Amino acid sequence: MKARAQGRPGPSLGQPYRTLVKLLGKDRIRADATSAISRYSARISFAALLAAVPLVPWLFLPGPLGGIGDLIVLVGLLALSRFFLAIQALDVGTSFGGLGSSREMWMGALAEPVFLLVIFAFGGPAGSTQAGVIAARGIALGAAYASPPLLLALVAYVLLLLVETGRLPVDNPATHLELTMIHEALVLEASGRDLALVAWGEGIKFTLLVGLLAALALPWGIPTVWTVPLLAAGAILLVAKLVGADLLVGHLETRVAKWRLFRVADLLALAAVLAFGSLALTYVIGGGA
Amino acid sequence: MILSGLLLVIGLAGFLAASLLALVGRSGRWVRASLAVGAGAAAVSAVQALTVLTGADLATGALAIPGTTAANPLVALALTEDPLGAFFLLVVSVSGAAILIASIGYIDRYVAHGSARLAGLLSLFLISLLLVCLAGTVFTFLVAWEGMTLLSYFLVVHEHRSPETRRAGFLYLAMSQAGTAAILTSLLLLATGSGTGTFAGIARSAPGLPVGILDAAFVAALLGFGMKAGLVPLHIWLPEAHPAAPSNVSALLSGVMIKMGILGLLRVLFELMGGGPEWWADLLLALGALASLSGVLSALAQHDLKRLLAYHSIENIGIILLGVGAALLFLDLGDPALAALALAAALLHTWNHALFKPLLFLGAGAAVGAVGTRDMERMGGLARRMPAVGVGFLVGALAISGLPPFNGFVSEWLLFHSFFGAFATGSVATEMLFAALAGILALTSGLAAYCFVKAFGIVFLGRPRSEPAARAAAPPGTLSAGMGILAGFCALLGVAPFLALAAMHRSLLELTGASLGSGSVVAFPTALPSPGAGVSLPFAPGAVALLLAGMLLVSWALWRLRGVPRRDTVGPAWECGGEPTTARAEPTALGYAQPIEHLFHPYYRPRDRIELGGSEGPGRAGLAPVVGFGREIEEPVRKYLYHPLAGGLLGAARATSRLQSGRIHAYLVYMFVTLVGLLLLLRLVGGGSP
């Protein structure tokens, strides 16, 4: 889709999955300096992402396992996944790995407060940090849910999404030009099955965060009662929402060029200010609580 | 009551026996036996703490030493069994036992440098820590506190042959004495009018004291206990003293001793004064935010492994203080449930830090011992040389970075939720304050993860950066065993924090009037118990851990989906197909943190040092080759606060010395003038009353 917008024909939608299956059947090559960390961390990192999936209400409310953890737990699991990728990159003992690892952790550290503030901005009025409860309030409120503070928080979340998933203008997922890559440098030395899990994990993280966007910003249509037609309608709507959000991100990526690394801090600062502003609006004007 | 008293006596006797074993025996075998006996005594103390925490009658639990109470109430020696002291006793003895076990393997390197003295002092030091937890009177507390300070000073200067160690020790001792003076002032101010020296007696009368005295006592307590806890800007002894001490001592200092500052602060603030005005809470919150952020920023810039860990202690004390300040503020706002939540977060983080920081210091000790330097740039690849230590350090790193499923995540999660609860208080200023604090806390924990990826990655992963690192030998098994105990507790409290919540149940009730749960151990996979109406805690640590474990199985299965893989092909790193590189191309500790230094440049103000080679070097076109690069970072508080202060102090001392003429009649005149001055002051202030 991104390729189409850039005037290229682009690979088919199924291509990434074909690559995945191929890679899953391949053996690994490990660098000679590595320790047990390289042997296991791809799988640990992937598992942490998988564990975060049920914390988002995809198809019904409250989410499948919404009761056992809230969005702060989700942030913790994402950070756990990132931690293991970052130490894996250092394990190889090459300069690119270290470069990518340092940059990734730098962005992660700066993104964390923004994520927290966005959670507070969405969750404050609902009195909960659980995605399911926030979405349920949105459904109950209907159109009145789309208040100005919420829009601010939404913009902040989209900026955060670009940073967290390494999209342009922050990082270019397609680049292999050594000086500009962040995430790619991180996983440069992964191969075979590990590379498959890392690439798949990246896709899961993107879908996860987009799904969260859909649940928080467009909660309507998520069934609150268990009936087959409602679930089916919810599923269709979910796919529509996801595709819509993907199109939005793809469009944003096509419109901007890669930024210098340190401008990412500006972007995150902007997002933090927006989220904080959203909270201030909610409480000063008295729209919430 | 009788059982716990018996256990207390057994524990104390055990420690005494342990230190005698070491000091009298002096040989390697006796030293090891001493440490083992000490660890046993610590285990007995842990059991004693548990009997107090689960016991029925607490009010009567005072152990007076006969003959001292009646004569003069101010110098009464008595121990008490209160829930807060018992909680800290539990914290001290669990970590103490693990550290002593680890020391059995670690202490051998000090055979030539008085390992017997080190082992003997360790057990005595634990006695003093135990007495600080249990002290029931002002006098007992001060004696134990001073014993703790002096013993820790001797432990810090164990390697007294190095001038750097002596300097660090002197700074520590000087600041500690100032701190003790402040604590003495605070406690005596509070004791005025109570006619007694027992904490219980003071707690009855202190809240009725005039506001001015309470304020003064609060400030003095904050200075004194803050000094010990390493509160910014009173922390500068900490990054000097911790690296200078042997690593098992650093583990005790950083993991356990600085927590005594927190205990003292909680005793004075909540027990004796029963809370305080809002500006105290605001001050605590501001100091906590300052400490956590500046601690982690300074840590990131370090390449001395132990100094890096010392700065993280400052950060974690900041996080604990955020919880204490929030609890105080919520009490002022009349919300005991939130106060209990915030205090639970602070207490849990106190215990957590007492577990993962010794774990990290012991790991660092193994690395430093094997490589022979504290400089991270000369380590690397150690996980292959000492796998058990590597795993232990990794667990500590994950826990301190606040990542699930370890204990650091639970306490930070609780703290976030107490901040989130502030959104229901209805005051805009409070809400915005806590939104900002949540941002700072999240930034701190993100940066901590950054820093520990750096620490673990540079020290334990990659290729060795120096010859000794490549030949490093694994430490003895007892060191790994001690680390294993600590790592096990990190995981246990991360998966089942109910155990810790039950242990602090009575303290929470006593200090805030609310608690999390009922004090019983709640079923394992359920959500955390709510402290009161309106506060829900949607987090089930056990269930999240199970989920994570399940997903690990899934990803293992996916990994094997297309058959069991052959053995990994091992070869040189790919690196985009370039030439094979050496360890010189590996990222350095300095370079790894460069992005953050760039961003926070005004905080660091680094001074770069570039060494240029001589003109005969292979320079090109008149350019001298760079042969060395270093970056020195001095903390702002040292430059702007302590240097002028030390200068002023020396100047004042010089000015006073002019008074000392050595002539007796001049001294008599001084005494006379002082006496007249005091009488005049009394007349002016007292207004004629006797």
> ipTM of the predicted structure?
0.85
Taking the C-alpha atoms of residue A13 and residue B159, their distance in angstroms, rounded to an integer, is 66
Residue B270: DSSP 8-state: I
Q: Which residues of A touch B538 (CB under 8 A)?
A: 66-70, 128-130
Domain ranges of chain A: 33-285
Chain B residues within an 8 Å CB radius of A263: none
How far apart, in whole angstroms, are the C-alpha atoms of residue B49 and residue B105? Answer: 27
What is the least distance, in Å, from the CA of A164 to any CA of chain B? 13
How buried is residue B471: exposed, middle or buried, by Cβ count under 10 Å (0-12/13-18/19+)? exposed
Going by their DSSP bridges, the two strands B607-612 and B626-632 should be labelled as: antiparallel
Residues B523-540: what's their mean pLDDT? Answer: 68
**Kind of pairing, strands A29-31 and B569-571?**
parallel
Q: How far apart are CA A172 and CA A189, in angstroms?
A: 18
pLDDT digits (tens, 9 = 90+) for B341-359: 999 999 999 999 999 999 9
Residue with tokens 């969005």: A71
Which of A26, A90, A188, A208 to probe by mutation at the B interface, max B CB count within 10 Å? Answer: A90
More confident residue, A235 or B93: B93
Do B328 and B484 form a contact (C-beta atoms < 8 A)? Answer: no
pLDDT in tens, A76-112: 999 998 898 888 888 776 767 777 777 788 888 888 8
- List CB contacts of B252: < 8 A, sequence separation 6 or more: B95, B96, B99, B122, B125, B126, B155, B358
Closest approach of chain B CAs to the CA of A81, in angstroms? 9
pLDDT band of residue B458 (cuts 50, 70, 90) is confident
The mean pLDDT of chain B is: 82
Whether residue A112 lies within 8 A of chain B, CB to CB, comes out as yes
- Amino acid letter for position B365: G
* Contact between B565 and A192 (Cβ < 8 Å): yes
Q: Which of B528, B555, B597, B603 to mutate to test the interface with A (most CBs of A within 10 A)?
A: B555
Across the interface, whether the CB atoms of B462 and A93 are under 8 A apart is answered yes
Q: How far apart are CA B292 and CA B311, in angstroms?
A: 9
- Which tokens belong to A67? 């009761």
Q: Which residues from chain A sit within 8 angstroms of residue B423, using beta carbons?
A: 120, 124, 127, 283, 289
CA separation for the pair B451, B298 (Å, rounded): 10
Per-residue pLDDT band at B671 (split at 50, 70, 90): confident
Alpha-carbon gap, residue B220 to B281, rounded angstroms: 15
Rounded CA separation B666/B365 (Å): 56
**Please, which residues 200-259 of chain A have a Cβ atom closer than 8 Å to chain B?**
none
Q: What is the mean pLDDT of residues B519-545?
A: 68
- CB < 8 Å to A191, chain B: 574
Q: Which of B401, B526, B575 should be substituted to probe chain A, the one whose Cβ sees the most A Cβ atoms within 10 Å?
A: B575
C-alpha span between A227 and A162 (Å, rounded): 35
A289–chain B Cβ distance below 8 A for any pair: yes
Residue B688 has a pLDDT of 44
| pLDDT exceeds 90 at position B285 | yes
User: Looking at residue B26, what is its pLDDT?
Assistant: 72
**Contact of B237 with B231, CB cutoff 8 Å:** no
Residue B349 Rama label (left phi>0; alpha psi -120 to 50; beta): alpha
Contact A93 B438 (CB under 8 A): no
Q: What is the DSSP string of B109-163?
A: GGGGGTHHHHHHHHHHHHHHHHHHHHB-BHHHHHHHHHHHHHHHHHHHGGGTTSH
Higher pLDDT, B275 or B567: B275
Give 3-state DSSP helix, strand, coil % of chain A, rounded to 5.
Answer: 70, 0, 30
The domain spans of chain B are: 289-532+540-545+591-607, 664-690
- Nearest chain A residue to B417, by CA: A129
Say if CB B189 and CB B199 are below 8 A apart.
no
Show residues of chain A in contact with B456, CB under 8 Å: 87, 90
Indicate whether B147 pLDDT > 90.
yes
Which of B322, B419, B495, B558 should be substituted to probe chain A, the one whose Cβ sees the most A Cβ atoms within 10 Å? B558
Question: Across the interface, do B538 and A130 touch by the CB < 8 Å criterion?
Answer: yes
Residue B547's Cβ-side half-sphere holds a number of Cα atoms within 13 Å equal to 27
Query: Helix (H, G, I), strand (E, B), or coil: what is residue B46?
Result: helix
Lowest mean pLDDT among B92-106, B131-145, B629-643: B629-643
**Closest residue of chain A to B383, computed from CA coordinates:** A35
Strand partners, B80: B62
The confidence score (pLDDT) of residue B556 equals 83
Burial B620-633 (b: 16+ CB within 10 A, else e): eeeebeeeeeeeee
CB nearest to A116's CB, from B438, B536, B559: B438
Residue at token pair 């606040």: B402
pLDDT given at position A86: 86
Q: What is the mean pLDDT of residues B586-597?
A: 69
Q: Which residues of A touch B566 (CB under 8 A)?
A: 27
Half-sphere exposure of B427 (CA within 13 A, CB side): 12
Alpha-carbon Rg for chain B, nearest whole angstrom, is 27
DSSP 8-class letter at A66: G
Residues B309-335 have pLDDT tens digits of: 999 999 999 999 999 999 999 998 888
- The C-alpha atoms of residue A26 and residue B368 are separated, in whole angstroms, by 40
Distances (CA, A) of B398 to A98, B139, B326, B395, B406: 19, 41, 26, 5, 7
Considering only A127-131, B12-16, B48-52, B576-580, which range has the smallest mean pLDDT? B576-580
Q: Give B390's contacts in chain A (Cβ within 8 Å).
A: 35-36
Chain B touched by A83 (CB under 8 Å): yes
The strand pair at B569-571 and B78-80 is best described as unpaired
- Residue A268 CA to residue A262 CA, distance in Å, equals 10
Residues of A in contact with B598 (CB under 8 A): 262
Tell me which chain B residues have a C-beta less than 8 angstroms from the C-beta of A130: 538
Which residues in chain A are closer than 8 Å to B543, comparing Cβ atoms? 65, 68-69
- What residues contact B223, with CB distance under 8 A and at least 6 apart? B179, B182, B234
Q: In this structure, what are the phi and psi dihedrals at residue B137, rounded to the nearest 5 degrees?
A: -130, 160
pLDDT range class, residue B618, cuts 50, 70, 90: very low
Q: Kindly state whether A90 is in contact with chain B, defined as any CB-CB distance less than 8 angstroms.
A: yes
The amino acid at B254: S
What are B371-401's pLDDT values in tens digits?
Answer: 888 888 888 888 888 889 999 999 999 999 9
Chain A residue nearest residue B569, CA to CA: A29
Is pLDDT above 60 for B522? Answer: no
In chain A, how long is the greatest CA-to-CA distance? 61
Q: CB distance B453–A105 less than 8 Å? A: yes
Q: Out of A31, A68, A86, whose CB is closest to B573?
A: A31
Of A30, A108, A111, the CB nearest to B568: A30
How far, in Å, are A113, A165, A265, B242, B594 from residue B599 at the CA level? 16, 21, 8, 28, 9
> Contact at 8 Å (CB) between A1 and A246?
yes
Record the tokens describing residue B296, joined without a space: 């982690």
3-state DSSP call for residue A261?
coil
Q: Which of A73, A90, A92 sits opposite B539 (nearest CB)?
A: A73
Q: Do A102 and B592 touch (CB under 8 A)?
A: yes
Alpha-helical runs (H) found in A7-70: 15-24, 36-52
Q: What's the CA gap between A56 and A74, in Å, rounded? A: 9
* Closest Cα in chain B, distance from residue A284 (Å): 6
Q: Say yes or no for a CB contact (<8 Å) between A124 and B565.
A: no
- pLDDT, position B614: 46
Q: Is B569 helix (H, G, I), strand (E, B) or coil?
A: strand
